[in-house]
A and B are shown apart, each in its own frame.
Chain A
Amino acid sequence: RPPSRPRILLKAPTLAEMEEMNISEEEESP
């Protein structure tokens, strides 16, 4: 990767949002 090319910022959910995503996943796969 040419050092000149900047890295792509990955947007991150908050801890709370992550937990909700996690709960919904667990409900889908009991």
Chain B
Amino acid sequence: HPVNIPRREKDFQGMLEYKKEDELKLVKNLILELKPRGVAVNLIPGLPAYILFMCLRHADYVNDDQKVRTLLTSTINSIKKILKKRGDDFETVSFWLANTCRFLHCLKQYSGDEAFMKHNTSRQNEHSLSNFDLAEYRQVISDLAIQIYQQLIKCMENILQPMIVSGMLEHETIQGVSGVKPTGLRKRTSSIADEGTYTLDSILRQLSAFHSTMCQHGTDPELIKQVVKQQFYIIGAVTLNNLLLRKDMCSWSKGMQIRYNVSQLEEWLRDKGLMTCGAKETLEPLIQAAQLLQVKKKTDEDAEAICSMCQALTTAQIVKVLNLYTPVNEFEERVSVAFIRTIQTRLRDRCESPQLLMDTKMIYPVTFPFNPSSLALETIQIPSSLNLGFLTRV
């Protein structure tokens, strides 16, 4: 019986050997039955991706193209399967977006392609795939990551959607007029906002919950920025659309409330170090609509100021706000038809869509900038909680 000499760390080559018949068990334990809130909570971020890649490395190392193919195919299909089953759970989708991207980065970082090796240690270069070029599989995995990203946005939108109008428009914090709805409106979902009324705070807490979940899962910072930008776009678009459809929202005080809410959202971005991710800019139409509610709307000079201020609003949107505008009190008159004509004349040669409402379903195209990892594969140890005892470190 061979003496079990403990191998020193440097003897491992960062691969995991497994028998072909154990492949189904591998994807079952590592993908299909892994609970993001359970075992996965205290894993190192991206561990499933590293484990899958180390298995792939061994199949490549022994020059078994069939084993490489079947592992990649069952990995991809298992991820798709779990997302079909639990695709409405933000944690699950975020977890597998982070791991799919990490797997994709590993395929690049260890592809042997110079372009992806700039930040590698010499040790990491030794771990490059030796026999197979998986460029075509990288494209498939990138397509999968795009699908998962779109699903994540849908997930997040379903959670945020019911909060936006209440939190950004209806709930008033400035004049101290409490807009608490009767408790009958209590939401059933287990999400953050379980009180009767969604407030701006509910939105901010939910944004923070999304953000910390993605960080905990090891999602690429560049990807988190794109998700946050998309979240802010949805918040801005839904808020503006409701403003444009509701007379009761077009008042001087509502303009003030919106500007306050926007400043809180910007504060949140600053707090998370996300001021440059483009999220703030997506709120520009809403910001300008709020300003439009507060500026003077009488003279030619006022008209000129409005036209130069409202660059992110279409003419239809500007005219709509002016038509819906409700004076502060009986001393203030409604916006005159003549004034609105002046605005329309000034803006007639603008080439823009006649659209009134923003497209709340628009998703910015996503990119996955290459993000190599400094993690040394040979040091990775597999927690027993993953039930992967049939894998052998090589």
Contact = CB atoms under 8 A, between A and B. Distances in A.
The answer on A and B forming one complex is: yes
Contact of B65 (A1, A8, A22): A8
B302 interface: no
17 contacts: A7-B112, A7-B130, A7-B131, A7-B133, A8-B133, A9-B136, A10-B65, A10-B68, A10-B69, A10-B137, A11-B136, A12-B137, A12-B139, A18-B77, A22-B73, A22-B77, A22-B80
A3 B176 CA distance: 72
A16 to B, nearest CB: 9
Contacts of A4: none
B136 A19 contact: no
For the complex of A and B, list the 7 residue pairs with the smallest distance between their C-beta atoms, beginning with the closest: A12-B136, A7-B133, A22-B77, A9-B133, A1-B130, A12-B137, A15-B143
Contacts, number: 52
B147 interface: yes
B305 interface: no
A15 B80 CA distance: 10
A13 interface: yes
Interface of B: 65, 68-69, 72-73, 76-77, 80, 112, 129-137, 139-140, 143-144, 147
Given A10-B65, A10-B69, A18 B140 contact: yes
Given A6-B133, A15-B140, 16 more contacts: A1-B131, A7-B132, A8-B131, A8-B132, A8-B133, A9-B135, A11-B136, A12-B72, A12-B134, A12-B139, A12-B140, A14-B140, A15-B144, A18-B77, A18-B140, A22-B80
Interface of A: 1, 6-15, 18-19, 21-22
A16 B135 CA distance: 18
A11 B134 CA distance: 8
A18 B73 CA distance: 7
Contacts of A15: 76, 80, 140, 143-144, 147
Contacts of A12: 72, 134, 136-137, 139-140
A17 to B, nearest CB: 9
A19 to B, nearest CB: 7
A25 to B, nearest CB: 9
Contacts of B134: 10, 12
A18 to B, nearest CB: 6
